[in-house]
């Protein structure tokens, strides 16, 4: 079955940003992104304004999906870590908690070993936060989504978007 | 599945354009890209072969404006239409919120249309979706060509469930925005229901 809808709340958003903010410093990275497996950007820290983050998120998810397809063809569940080496900048991409993608962009001021080590620790913390988030969403769904912002929109609201 | 971010007050949805090879999926996106104000769109990405056939996908992020204080963003994707790219097509359908089936109206492409539509149903099912329950629009493209089937004939073959349908000519842009608006609207109505 497909993944359930991802809902992000302020509290968890802050926690996530704290974790990746710390990772940015500890791994000496330039930018760190968190992306949903469906290609939606969740958050980013570091020199994010230098990059087209939306495209980056979409291509990362496509990349993970494609390598995931490759993995299945050879009988693996998934490839949980991808590493792309460039002349100056490198990308370390890993899957966190089975559903989100952590992208670390770094240059020669850091090293693959350091990034891998720090990512491992942060991944565990992030997994815990996302598990909490999923539980929260499920609970809220069970209670009925009265606070859901779209429950009260009217046809006019929708039409106005296109006027 | 749509992604709702209370922290940044954003809602993101994914629309996939599906259809047989050369039916005009990429052309639909290109027209939307050309006619959208710069502040409402991101960069269009095409992962294509040297002969400009879609290899993996095209991607176009659009920002439609706000509803009740939430920025609504739509991510438009196309799939590669050629039969042998089926593995890639499956991947792109992951997390889809709405589907546009772009049919090639030319008589000689009817079998390709039927095959592609069948393929769409199968691939959605593999991901746990049912086409009849998704926001779904059919577009009859290439209406400007001389050898086209009538809309009635196309409907009988490709739209037996009578979902909203549009005639289009993606190269001139006729019907392109009507199609996009219709699918976006269906997605928002679905969200309203809290699905």
Cα(A81)–Cα(A99) distance, rounded to whole angstroms? Answer: 13
Domain tally, chain A: 1
Instruction: Give the pLDDT score at B65.
Output: 87
In the block, tokens 């149903």 appear at B121
Within-domain flag for A20: yes
Q: Given pLDDT bands bounded at 50, 70 and 90, which one contains residue A147?
A: low
By the 8 A CB rule, do B104 and B20 touch?
Answer: yes
The token pair at B40 is 């409402």
* A6 neighbourhood in chain B, CB within 8 Å: 1, 3-4
- The rounded mean pLDDT for chain B is 94
Within-domain flag for A3: no
Q: Which residues in A27-53 are b (16+ Cβ under 10 Å) and which e? A: bebbbbbbbbbbbbbbbbbbebeeeeb
Q: Which residue of A has its CA nearest to B60?
A: A55
Within-domain flag for A122: yes
Domain coverage including residue A121:
10-161
Strand duo B45-48 + B10-18: pairing: unpaired
Q: For A18-59, write each residue's pLDDT tens digit.
A: 999 999 999 999 999 999 988 889 999 999 999 998 899 999
Point out the least confidently predicted range of A149-153, B109-113, B115-119.
A149-153
By the 8 A CB rule, do B103 and B154 touch?
Answer: yes
| Domains, chain B | 3-192 (3.40.50.300)
Q: Given pLDDT bands bounded at 50, 70 and 90, which one contains residue A146?
A: very low
- pLDDT > 50? residue B187: yes
Min Cα–Cα distance to chain A from B12, Å: 7
DSSP string, A51-81: S-HHHHHHHHHHHHHHHHHHHHHTT-S---E
* B129 neighbourhood in chain A, CB within 8 Å: 2
Instruction: Give the pLDDT score at A4.
Output: 63
**Residue B185 is nearest to which of A1, A145, A158, comparing CB atoms?**
A158
- Treating both helix axes as pointing N-terminal to C-terminal, what angle do B176-192 and B25-35 enclose, rounded to 10 degrees? 90
By the 8 A CB rule, do B179 and B140 touch?
Answer: no
* B4 neighbourhood in chain A, CB within 8 Å: 5-8, 149
The token pair at B32 is 């939307």
By the 8 A CB rule, do A150 and B192 touch?
Answer: yes
Min Cα–Cα distance to chain A from B138, Å: 20
Min Cα–Cα distance to chain A from B108, Å: 32
Cβ atoms < 10 Å from Cβ of B16 = 26
Q: Which residue of A has its CA nearest to B43?
A: A55
Test B128 with A54 for CB contact under 8 angstroms: no
Instruction: Give the pLDDT score at A1.
Output: 36
The token pair at A138 is 């499920």
* A58 neighbourhood in chain B, CB within 8 Å: 45, 59, 61, 75
Min Cα–Cα distance to chain B from A156, Å: 10
Closest by CA position to B10, among listed B55, B59, B63: B63
Within-domain flag for A4: no
Within-domain flag for A116: yes
Q: Which residue of B has its CA nearest to A7?
A: B4
Test B67 with A158 for CB contact under 8 angstroms: yes
Q: For B2-21, write each residue's pLDDT tens digit.
A: 888 888 888 999 999 999 99
Distant-in-sequence, close-in-space partners of A9: CB < 8 Å, separation ≥ 6: A133, A136, B6, B7
Give start and end residues of each alpha helix (H) in chain B.
25-35, 86-92, 110-126, 151-158, 176-192
Within-domain flag for A5: no
Within-domain flag for A2: no
Can you give the pTM of this predicted structure?
A: 0.90
Point out the least confidently predicted range of A118-127, B58-67, B130-139, B149-158.
B58-67
Instruction: Give the pLDDT score at B57.
Output: 93
Cβ atoms < 10 Å from Cβ of B164 = 16
Within-domain flag for A141: yes
Highest-confidence range of A3-7, B87-91, B136-140, by mean pLDDT? B136-140
**Residue A8 is nearest to which of B7, B181, B184, comparing CB atoms?**
B7
**Residue B64 is nearest to which of A4, A152, A161, comparing CB atoms?**
A161
Min Cα–Cα distance to chain B from A27, Å: 26
**Residue A10 is nearest to which of B6, B43, B191, comparing CB atoms?**
B6
Q: What is the CATH number of the domain that holds A117?
A: 3.30.450.30
């Amino acid at each position: 079955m497909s993944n359930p809808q991802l809902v992000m709340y302020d509290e968890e958003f802050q926690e996530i940003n704290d974790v990746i903010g710390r990772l940015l410093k500890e791994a000496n990275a330039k930018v760190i992104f968190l992306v949903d497996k469906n290609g939606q950007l969740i958050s980013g820290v570091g020199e994010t304004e230098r990059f087209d983050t939306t495209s980056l998120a979409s291509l990362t998810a496509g990349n993970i999906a494609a390598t995931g397809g490759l993995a299945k063809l050879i009988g693996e569940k998934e490839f949980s870590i991808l590493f792309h080496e460039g002349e100056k900048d490198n990308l370390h991409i890993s899957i966190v908690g089975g559903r989100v993608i952590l992208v670390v962009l770094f240059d020669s001021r850091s090293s693959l070993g350091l990034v891998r080590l720090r990512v491992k620790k942060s991944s565990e913390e992030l997994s815990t936060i996302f598990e909490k988030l999923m539980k929260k969403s499920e609970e809220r769904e069970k209670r009925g989504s009265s606070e859901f912002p779209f429950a009260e929109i009217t046809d006019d609201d929708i039409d106005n978007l296109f006027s | 599945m749509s992604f709702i971010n209370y922290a940044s007050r954003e809602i993101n949805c994914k629309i996939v354009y599906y259809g047989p090879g050369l039916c005009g999926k990429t052309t639909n996106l290109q027209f939307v890209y050309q006619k959208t104000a710069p502040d409402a769109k991101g960069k269009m990405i095409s992962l294509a072969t040297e002969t400009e056939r879609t290899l993996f996908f095209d991607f176009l992020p659009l920002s439609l404006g706000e509803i009740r204080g939430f920025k609504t963003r739509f991510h438009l994707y196309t799939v590669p239409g050629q039969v042998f790219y089926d593995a890639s097509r499956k991947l792109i359908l992951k997390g889809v919120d709405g589907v546009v089936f772009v049919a090639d109206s030319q008589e000689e492409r009817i079998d390709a249309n039927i095959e592609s539509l069948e393929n769409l149903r199968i691939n959605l099912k593999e991901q746990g979706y049912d086409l009849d329950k998704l926001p779904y629009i059919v577009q009859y493209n290439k209406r400007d060509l001389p050898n086209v089937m009538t809309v009635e004939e196309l409907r009988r073959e490709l739209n037996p469930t009578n979902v909203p349908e549009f005639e289009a000519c993606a190269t001139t842009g006729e019907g392109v925005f009507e199609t996009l608006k219709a699918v976006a609207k269906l997605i928002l109505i679905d969200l309203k229901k809290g699905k």
